[in-house]
Amino acid sequence: MTSQNPPLTPRHIAIIMDGNGRWAARRGLPRAAGHREGVRAVRRTIEAAIEHNVRWLTLFAFSSENWRRPAEEVTDLTFLLRHYLRSELNELAEAGVRLRVIGERDRFGPALEAELAAAETRTEGNERLNLVIALSYGARAEIVAAARRIAREAKAGTLDPALLDEDNFTAHLATAGMPDPDLVIRTSGEQRLSNFLLWQAAYAELIFDDALWPDFGAANLASAIAEYARRERRFGARPAMPAPVK
């Protein structure tokens, strides 16, 4: 594969939304206040993504490790998720946004699981922006689950292990049918992926923004897209050598 320049706008942007707690702590507020302000940042980012003609936006909203947080904080996060669905769904649908959820949604209980499924069904015909929310998601668990499905298929005789390749494996992931992210953004200045889309982000461009998530907005997204446009994506290939001078 030869080196190539990326298009001006990435097709798929994935964001690790980090810094709600620190945002609240710096203001002497409870962590729940940071999460509530983070919801406003989600709204701004979706609007900005649409303006930039981004086709896929994946937001890391709740990791599988977040269940280890205090029960009160988990309850606050769950309440905010339910509130977001109920307050924003009509606007998302009217804006042409299709909502998808990846992760262990069943861990949130049957009532919220049903609401998530209904939201997906309500918006499944929309094509302007594919909004993917990662809930109770962990990339290692996702890969293990895919391996288990493949093992079951191989045992049942419906899959020949000798024919297993990267495309086939990808089709068993939670993100089957989605393009890999071109750009992964993490806010709050932390510089790690934190078990987010490890398989899918193999060749993504990474940008680490110092802004805490509640402060993230259209200008931050525009800056990240501009930085992406300046980069040369090689996908593991060597850059083209210049022609010899005669």
Q: List pLDDT tens digits, range 141-168.
A: 999 999 999 999 999 999 999 999 999 9
Given its phi and psi angles, is residue 139 left (phi above 0), alpha (psi -120 to 50 degrees) or beta?
Answer: alpha
**Residues 5, 53, 66, 106: which is the catalytic one?**
66
Q: List pLDDT tens digits, range 84-108.
A: 888 899 999 999 999 999 999 999 8
> Does the annotation flag 205 for ligand binding?
yes
CA nearest 6: which of 241, 202, 236, 235?
A: 235
Q: Give ∠ CA 197-121-177 in degrees, rounded to 5.
A: 35
Q: List pLDDT tens digits, range 63-75.
A: 888 888 888 888 8
> Does the annotation flag 63 for ligand binding?
yes
For residue 53, indicate whether it is catalytic: no
> Does the annotation flag 136 for ligand binding?
no
Q: Which of 66-70, 135-139, 231-235 has the lowest mean pLDDT?
A: 231-235
For residue 195, indicate whether it is catalytic: no
The residues facing 180 across adjacent strands are none
> Does the annotation flag 105 for ligand binding?
no
**Residues 18, 76, 182, 209: which is the catalytic one?**
18
pLDDT over threshold 90, residue 50? yes
CA nearest 56: which of 18, 91, 94, 15?
A: 15
> Does the annotation flag 138 for ligand binding?
no
Instruction: Count Cβ neighbours within 10 Å for each residue of 123-161 and write b for 16 or more, e otherwise.
Output: beebeebbbbbbbbbbbeebbeebeeebeebeeeeebee
CA nearest 60: which of 193, 226, 202?
A: 193
Quote the pLDDT of residue 76.
Answer: 82
Quote the pLDDT of residue 237.
Answer: 60
3 residue type, one letter = S
> Does the annotation flag 189 for ligand binding?
no
What are the residues whose beta carbons fall under 8 Å from the beta carbon of 132, sequence distance 6 or more? 56, 57, 58, 59, 100, 101, 102, 175, 178
Confidence band of 7 (pLDDT split at 50, 70, 90): low
Domains of the chain (ranges plus CATH)?
A: 12-144+175-230 (3.40.1180.10)
Give the number of other Cβ atoms within 10 Å of residue 43's Cβ. Answer: 15
> Does the annotation flag 230 for ligand binding?
no
